[in-house]
Amino acid sequence: MILMSTDQPVVPTKAERRLCESLHLRDEESEALLRAMHLGKAARQAVVFSPRAPQAYEPPFACAESSRFPWLPARVRIPVEGEKPTRYADYTLGLYYVLDLSSCWEGAALSALSGAPLRSLDMCAAPGGKSMLLAAHVQLLDHTANEVHAARRGILRQNVELCGLPNTRVTGWRPEQWSRSGELFDLIMVDAPCSGQSLLCKGMKNPGCLGKNVVQGNAKRQRGILSAAACCLAPGGYLLYTTCTYAPEENERSVAYLLRRTSEISACDVPALAAFRSTLSEFPSYRLLPHHGAGAGGFCCLLQREK
């Protein structure tokens, strides 16, 4: 039984207990995760300066000390608690993009790239956060932001134009179309559709996200997307896989599925995220949980095709 800050006892559901067991968490870690899922207050905002922002740009709001987060790139800031970055004119002018700090943590794997990719693809791009983060890490030389859903693609296009992402085209291809296209990329980002279990820690409703069928259905879809992405990876190219969920089936096991079937691809160490190394895989992969204090949580794994 978990005692919440309101002193009201909460009994974890069977699905919640199953999740904690699958993550091999210690008792105190399980308690922290369950508390975060029930309180729904783990979200933490961050802003990514867009290419429109001058090199020496400083935002019009107060920022928290970011020394606790050495994995953040220089062009990311954390607003102090209570600040609303979206209320400033600079936001409407596209000088920065707002997202959860855990997304920035996932993007920190980009720090392990050997250099700016000549061609890059954000395969599941809407609403645009990962593409914005890529632009904060490296110069965009020839970038494709792809979103299969038309309505979400419209939002993506608006954000790309508003924030002035250079050398970027917006497309709407399905994964299997990419696999047959013959196009090759030096970096592919797959921020995969998932069960979104971390949404509970943001206070958002997400019915059924802990259910076995939901998790397994998403894992099957993710493995198809990863397989399609692998077909488009140039020799020496990188594939960054990220989710905003906790289930191992959608994270470590989905990556393991690809590695078993594609011998020329291997997982890369990400020194900036060494403290977050997952214990659920033999290969380098990384997990963020709400009690780490950097947002609602997520998963990332950086892969590379042999040259």
Q: Report residue 252: phi and psi, to 5°.
A: -55, -40
> Considering only CA atoms, which of 301, 295, 302 is closest in space to residue 43?
295
Question: What is the structure's pLDDT at 118?
Answer: 97
Q: Which of 61, 4, 69 is nearest to 37 (CA)?
A: 4
Q: Does the domain formed by 40-47+101-305 have CATH 3.40.50.300?
A: no
Parse the chain into domains and list their residue ranges. Answer: 40-47+101-305
* Consecutive 10-residue averages of pLDDT for the chain (307 residues): 47 92 94 94 97 96 93 96 96 98 98 96 98 97 98 98 98 98 98 98 96 98 98 98 98 98 97 98 98 96 97
CA angle 178, 179, 184 (to 5 degrees): 75
Determine the pLDDT at residue 66.
Answer: 86
How many residues are given for the chain?
307
Structure-block tokens of residue 225? 């997307």
pLDDT of amino acid 11: 77
Q: What is the pLDDT of residue 10?
A: 64
Phi, psi angles (nearest 5°) of residue 302: -100, 125
Question: Comparing C-alpha atoms, which of 120, 251, 128 is closest to residue 183?
Answer: 120
CA distance 248 to 252: 5
Is residue 302 within 8 Å of 240, Cβ to Cβ?
Answer: yes
Catalytic residues: 244
Cα–Cα distance, 130 to 168 (Å, whole number)? 13
Q: Do the beta carbons of residue 298 and residue 242 sit within 8 Å?
A: yes
